[in-house]
């Protein structure tokens, strides 16, 4: 029988039990005679052929994804191996330093003991000599006897003083005071990193857009959010150049606190779970702790770069943007080297790679040692300012002029645009990815709001 309600053929048992309430039920002869058309066979053949091709394309894509997944696994394995080698090399370096220090301390102690032994031997020889003189039966006059006694007494007194000095000084030894933090912190680490599976969608679109107010009551000027960084707690720090502040934004994108810094901020980055560094136009970097409120830890000075955008912290080093490149400093502000030959804007770091927008048509990626890894370029970009990266390694950059967000894979392949375009009349300056809400936060100049793009 044929059920017109469900447009499908069924056996008599199914018709009687499951399609009793359907009104359009006929036998096959009537159904084929009234509604069946030969052209439906051709249409179905065409449709099935098209579907066959689509399924073949999907199968091919899945096979390619198997290869890409294996490449990704191999890449992670190589990175784990690099971390292992790096850790072992660092432990070897620490061990070598400890042994060098031990050898130096041992040599000093040994030299002192050998010097003391030589002094004792001289004194002992002198004491033996006076004993022989005192036991001598050679006849001398009273004056000579007096001189000999006084000289012997002097040598004896010197020997007594030496003995007392050595006895009170104790034994020379060498001890090892272990840095317990090294072992404790090492044992607290439960993994080298988090292994997660992500579904990388080809479709990248904006689901909705929100404008979030970041202006505070005591702000005297229109905000200029030059940089944004995300803390380990999931909160965000906004660097407001115009109001000379850094602002704390919670996980629901509400500004809850601020801290007035000693100069206009030009860059900000995370240095630990709840600590950030703020680069100022005074050529100082302020280190802040972020709990329920801000507190200042200390300041360090740099020789150049305060007036220029961008800063990140990686492998114990600060990368600081300047007029024509990037300078690298240690945690105390000691200059080490220069990298890059262009003026950067925003910088981000992922594992051992640093991504810098270059006010041009893309992004330049460097290894942590300063060597260039790759470039991410596209003709739709003219003046890149902001950059961020999602959890799956997708890189987003925004163009200051066109306000387009162009997407790249981590290895540099352009994946197209994030559509639709960002609808905001001011110039975009900075990006930050919020993995909790799967959205991108955009800072502008001048603007009292940041834009939050929730992605599909």
Query: What is the rounded average pLDDT for all residues in the chain?
Result: 88
Tens-digit pLDDT profile for residues 102-141:
999 999 989 988 888 898 888 888 888 877 777 776 676 7
CA distance readout (Å), 379 to 231, 356, 360, 396, 416:
33, 17, 10, 15, 11
Assigned CATH for 206-455: 2.120.10.30
In the chain, what are the domain boundaries? 2-80, 96-186, 206-455
% of the chain with per-residue pLDDT over 90? 47
Query: What are the structure tokens assigned to 258, written together?
Result: 């601020």
The confidence band for 179, taking pLDDT boundaries of 50, 70 and 90, is: confident
> What is the 8-class DSSP label of residue 7?
T
Tens-digit pLDDT profile for residues 35-53:
556 667 778 888 899 899 8
**pLDDT number for residue 72:** 82
Contacts with 2 (C-beta within 8 Å, 6 or more apart), sequence order: 8, 9, 10, 25, 26, 27, 28, 30, 31
CA–CA dist 182, 408 (Å, integer): 39
Average pLDDT over residues 60-75: 86
CA–CA dist 227, 377 (Å, integer): 22
Buried/exposed code over 48-73 (b: 16+ C-beta within 10 A; e: otherwise)? eeeeeeeeeeeeeeeeeeeeeeeeee
**pLDDT number for residue 92:** 92
Query: SS3 of 280, please?
Result: strand
CA–CA dist 196, 149 (Å, integer): 91
pLDDT above 90 for 385: yes
Q: Count CA atoms closer than 13 A to 328's CA, side-chain side.
A: 16
Give the DSSP H/E element, type plus range, for residue 300: strand 294-301
**pLDDT number for residue 159:** 82
Query: What are the structure tokens assigned to 175, written together?
Result: 């001890």
CA–CA dist 23, 38 (Å, integer): 25
Query: What are the structure tokens assigned to 74, written together?
Result: 């191999």
Contacts with 123 (C-beta within 8 Å, 6 or more apart), sequence order: 155, 158, 159, 162
Q: Which residue has the higher pLDDT, 15 or 346?
A: 346
Q: Which residue has the higher pLDDT, 375 or 181?
A: 375
**pLDDT number for residue 259:** 96
- How many CB atoms within 10 Å of residue 340? 21
Angle between helices 38-135 and 142-169 (to 10 degrees): 160
């Amino acid at each position: 029988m044929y059920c017109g309600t469900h447009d499908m053929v069924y056996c008599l048992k199914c018709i009687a039990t499951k399609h009793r309430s359907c009104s359009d039920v006929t036998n096959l002869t009537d159904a084929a005679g009234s509604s069946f058309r030969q052209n439906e066979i051709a249409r179905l053949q065409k449709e099935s052929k098209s579907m066959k091709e689509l399924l073949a394309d999907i199968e091919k894509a899945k096979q390619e994804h198997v290869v890409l997944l294996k490449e990704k696994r191999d890449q992670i394995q190589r990175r784990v191996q690099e971390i292992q080698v790096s850790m072992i090399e660092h432990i070897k370096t620490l061990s070598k330093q400890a042994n060098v220090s031990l050898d130096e301390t041992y040599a000093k102690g040994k030299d002192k003991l050998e010097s003391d032994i030589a002094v004792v031997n001289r004194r002992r020889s002198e004491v033996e000599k006076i004993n022989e003189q005192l036991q001598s039966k050679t006849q001398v006059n009273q004056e000579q006897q007096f001189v000999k006694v006084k000289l012997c007494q002097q040598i004896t007194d010197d020997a007594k003083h030496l003995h007392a000095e050595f006895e009170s000084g104790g034994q020379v030894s060498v001890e090892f005071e272990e840095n317990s933090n090294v072992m404790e912190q090492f044992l607290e680490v439960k993994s080298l990193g988090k292994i997660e599976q992500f579904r990388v969608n080809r479709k990248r679109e904006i689901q909705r857009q929100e404008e979030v107010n970041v202006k505070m009551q005591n702000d005297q000027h229109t905000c200029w959010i030059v940089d944004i960084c995300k803390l380990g707690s999931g909160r965000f720090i906004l660097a407001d150049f115009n109001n000379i502040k850094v602002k704390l934004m919670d996980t629901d994108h509400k500004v809850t606190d601020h801290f007035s810094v000693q100069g206009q901020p030009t860059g900000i980055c995370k240095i630990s779970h709840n600590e950030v560094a703020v680069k100022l136009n005074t050529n100082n970097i302020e280190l802040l702790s972020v709990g329920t409120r801000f507190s200042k830890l200390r300041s360090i000075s740099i020789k150049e770069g305060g007036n220029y955008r961008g800063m990140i912290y990686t492998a114990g080093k600060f990368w600081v943007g300047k007029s024509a490149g990037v300078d690298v400093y240690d945690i105390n502000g000691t200059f080490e080297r220069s990298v890059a030959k262009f003026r950067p804007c925003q910088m981000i770091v992922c594992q051992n790679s640093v991504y810098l927008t270059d006010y041009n048509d893309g992004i330049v990626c460097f290894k942590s040692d300063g060597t260039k890894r790759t470039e991410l370029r596209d003709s739709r970009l003219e003046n890149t300012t902001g950059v961020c990266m999602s959890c799956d390694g997708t890189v987003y950059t925004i163009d200051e002029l066109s306000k387009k967000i162009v997407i790249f894979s981590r290895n540099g392949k352009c994946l197209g645009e994030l559509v639709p375009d960002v609808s905001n009349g001011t110039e975009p300056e900075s990006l930050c990815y919020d993995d909790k809400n799967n959205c991108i936060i955009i800072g502008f100049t001048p603007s009292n709001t940041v834009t939050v793009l929730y992605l599909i």
